Amino acid sequence: MSDQKPTGTRHYRPETRLVHGGTLRSQYGETSEALFLTQGYVYETAEQCAARFANTDPGFIYSRFANPTVSMFEQRMVELEGAEAARATATGMAAVTTAVLAPLRAGDHVVAAKAMFGSCRFVVEDLLPRYGITSTLVDGLDLDQWQKAMRPNTKTLFLESPTNPTLEVLDIAEIAKIAHAGGARLIVDNVFATPIWQSPLALGADVVVYSATKHIDGQGRCLGGVILSSDAFIQEHIHNFLRQTGPSMSPFNAWVLLKGLETLGVRVRQQTENAAKIADALAKHPKISKLIYPGRSDHPQAAIVKKQMRAGSTMVAFEVKGERAAAFRTLNGLKVARISNNLGDSKSLVTHPTTTTHQRLSEPARAELGITEGMIRYSAGLEHADDLIEDLHAALEKA
């Protein structure tokens, strides 16, 4: 590496950070970041090798611990998010599981919002209790419930906002205050908002996690995740856990994600514009009983959206009259948007949460969250908005 220190870009605007942040150049001076597809590293001498392991000589040891391409991705995310440090993981779920589990011990307690991605809820509800960590699930919109759930041993509060798939918007700053007053940390899964529209650390959260699989790649190619926080949190709780347990990001995926970050702002802006147009076009459709879009003034938490998000979202949720059969007829009738359980992609993707992402939940648990049989989650892509709207109108004809 000729540039051992990554380029600092914090004084630039986010668009510039997305393109240049974290770049390390080799002696060849390449324009595009190099892909260091290597498992390990060699040393000049045994003394140098010993010094690396003793942490007195900076440098790479083994790609399970760190890799130059992965480090560039981590550093670009750090600069974008305004964090002190980051660690990349193999998937978004590896990031969530590590951020939640690694700092905890048996006897600790976690409070989390009920409305979250099915696998995140599994981690809190099913996995943690197996290791003696108790959890309480609350209605994330109700600050009283967060407050009442706090116990002397509560160490972590965990939420996602907007929520998957109901697009509720939780008050991050107020929930952070409750966490800190009780000596706990707040972890925010920022997947639905994206780093373009919401900065949880600036709102008072302590840790941010992403599934980089979603908007950060945004082109359906690879899985990835990232945890961002203070240097102290990453060093004390995350670095060693990842190093010893191994859910590391592959250098190839880091390279793809670095390229994804370069276009993230442009894609998210265009996808959000498309989502807003879709929401407006469907809001009064006779076959739709409910439409939820965080960018509209009729969103139930419009005031919180205004306070903490820079724009709406790339996601729209709506309920088709006539329950599951009508929702399925709508999905099957779409020709441009494709049926998928993924989101944040340049291709518009539609999901029936009841039978996919949230099928693990019981019927009453889904009902409590407002996930109905008629609900469809729509992830707006980069196609022309008029084609997407015409596609939806044609499919709804058949519903």
Binding mask 116-145 for ligand PLP (x = CB under 6 A): -x-xx-------------------------
Residues of this chain, 80-119, that bind ligand PLP according to CB under 6 A: 91-93, 96, 117, 119
Select 95 or 281, whichever has its Cβ closest to ligand PLP.
95
Select 186 or 399, whichever has its Cβ closest to ligand PLP.
186
Count other C-beta atoms under 10 Å from residue 360's C-beta: 13
Q: Is 198 in the site for ligand PLP (CB under 6 A)?
A: no
Smallest gap from Cβ 70 to ligand PLP, in A, equals 16
- For ligand PLP, the binding residue among 33, 79, 125, 160 (CB under 6 A) is 160
Select 123 or 279, whichever has its Cβ closest to ligand PLP.
123
The first and second tokens of residue 386, run together, are: 């008029």
Count other C-beta atoms under 10 Å from residue 262's C-beta: 16
Q: Is 378 in the site for ligand PLP (CB under 6 A)?
A: no
Smallest gap from Cβ 360 to ligand PLP, in A, equals 13
Select 211 or 330, whichever has its Cβ closest to ligand PLP.
211
Distance of alpha carbon 31 from alpha carbon 266, whole angstroms: 20
For the four alpha carbons of 176, 182, 185 and 190, in that order, the dihedral sign comes to negative
Residues of this chain, 201-260, that bind ligand PLP according to CB under 6 A: 211, 213, 223, 225
Q: Is 168 in the site for ligand PLP (CB under 6 A)?
A: no
List the end-to-end C-alpha distance of the chain, in Å, as a whole number. 58
Smallest gap from Cβ 82 to ligand PLP, in A, equals 21
Phi then psi for residue 136, to 5 deg, are -125, 130
Sequence-ordered list of residues with C-beta below 8 angstroms from that of 61, at least 6 positions apart, any chain: 40, 41, 52, 53
- Beta strands, E only, the chain: 85-89, 109-113, 134-138, 154-160, 185-189, 207-211, 225-229, 288-292, 315-320, 338-339, 349-351, 375-379
Distance of alpha carbon 131 from alpha carbon 137, whole angstroms: 17
Contacts with ligand PLP by CB under 6 A lie at: 91-93, 96, 117, 119-120, 160, 164, 189, 191, 211, 213, 223, 225
